[in-house]
């Protein structure tokens, strides 16, 4: 029986996962592979069931504590160094973001990423510095099969401020464990704005940023 024929098992697996049951236990109970269970329940929110232990939970060792402390310190240091962006700094930050992740082809402004923070920053930047006709914005969602399409669509619609009616037909990727195991619950989105003049304006800014004149000597 193929994946599409296991709808009942998939539904039961999701119910069990929501109760906090470990994936290995779900797989054993349903008689399916753990990889199938992992795929079916990846987007299910759950709280792990408490397990009986013989003693106290092991505390982080000295190395782990130093690592956590360093991460927290550097995050705070980074926030202090960056601070609140000025108008010009916000412009340059968005240009650098598009230079790295945006489409360079003519006619359309396209930015694709799986990190919600980067997508939110791009959308805010685009609307702030350019006159945007909201009705011309489009979103294409790339999501692995087995993940919740409706939830992912709602998530990205709220984050980008773009109506679900402006979402294009999604691309559903077939999971391939030989290529990658980690899958983004909400997938990856491409935000498109079809306007050649806006794209050329952005590319002019990208060219200026990457020119020798803009780089400190």
DSSP-assigned letter for residue 189: E
Same domain? 190 vs 102: yes
Spatial CB neighbours of 115, under 8 Å, sequence gap ≥ 6: none
In a domain, 103, yes or no: yes
Q: Which two tokens stand for residue 191?
A: 């935000």
Kindly report, residue by residue over 9-33, the tens digit of the pLDDT: 788 888 888 888 888 888 888 877 7
- Give the model confidence (pLDDT) of 44-82 as tens digits: 876 666 655 555 667 788 888 899 899 999 999 998 999
Tell whether 51 is covered by a domain: no
Task: Please write the tens of the pLDDT for every residue from 164-186.
Answer: 999 999 998 886 665 555 567 88
- The pTM of the full predicted model, rounded to 2 decimals, is 0.67
Query: What pLDDT is stored for residue 80 in this prediction?
Result: 92
Number of domains, the chain: 2
The closest of 50, 42, 47 to 18, measured between CA atoms, is: 47
Bridge pairing between strands 137-144 and 188-194 = antiparallel
**Diameter of the chain measured on Cα atoms:** 67
How far apart, in whole angstroms, are the C-alpha atoms of residue 207 and residue 111?
17
Q: Which domain holds residue 8?
A: 3-41
Tokens describing residue 35: 């990889």
Helix axes 23-30, 7-18, angle to 10 degrees: 140
> What pLDDT sits at residue 96?
96
End-to-end CA distance of the chain: 65
| Stretch 112-128: mean pLDDT | 94
- 65 located within any domain: no
| Average pLDDT of every residue of the chain | 85
Coil/strand/helix, residue 113: strand
């Amino acid at each position: 029986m193929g994946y599409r024929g296991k709808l009942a098992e998939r539904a039961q697996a999701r119910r069990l996962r929501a109760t906090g049951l470990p994936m290995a236990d779900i797989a054993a109970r349903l008689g399916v592979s753990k990889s199938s269970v992992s795929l079916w329940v990846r987007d299910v929110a759950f709280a792990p069931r408490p397990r009986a232990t013989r003693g106290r939970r092991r505390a982080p060792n000295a190395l782990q504590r130093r690592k956590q402390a360093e991460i927290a310190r550097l995050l705070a240091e980074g926030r202090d160094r960056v601070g609140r962006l000025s108008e010009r700094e916000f412009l340059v930050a968005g240009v650098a973001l598009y230079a790295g992740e945006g489409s360079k082809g003519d006619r359309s402004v396209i930015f694709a990423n799986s990190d919600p923070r980067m997508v939110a920053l791009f959308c805010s930047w685009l609307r702030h510095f350019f006159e945007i006709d909201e009705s011309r914005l489009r979103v294409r969602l790339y999501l692995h099969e087995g993940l919740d399409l409706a939830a992912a669509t709602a998530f990205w619609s709220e984050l980008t401020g773009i109506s679900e009616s402006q979402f294009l037909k999604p691309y559903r990727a077939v999971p391939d464990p030989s290529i990658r195991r980690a899958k983004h619950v909400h997938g990856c989105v491409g935000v498109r704005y079809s306007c050649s003049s806006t794209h050329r304006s952005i590319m002019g800014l990208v060219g200026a940023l990457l020119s020798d004149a803009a780089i400190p000597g």
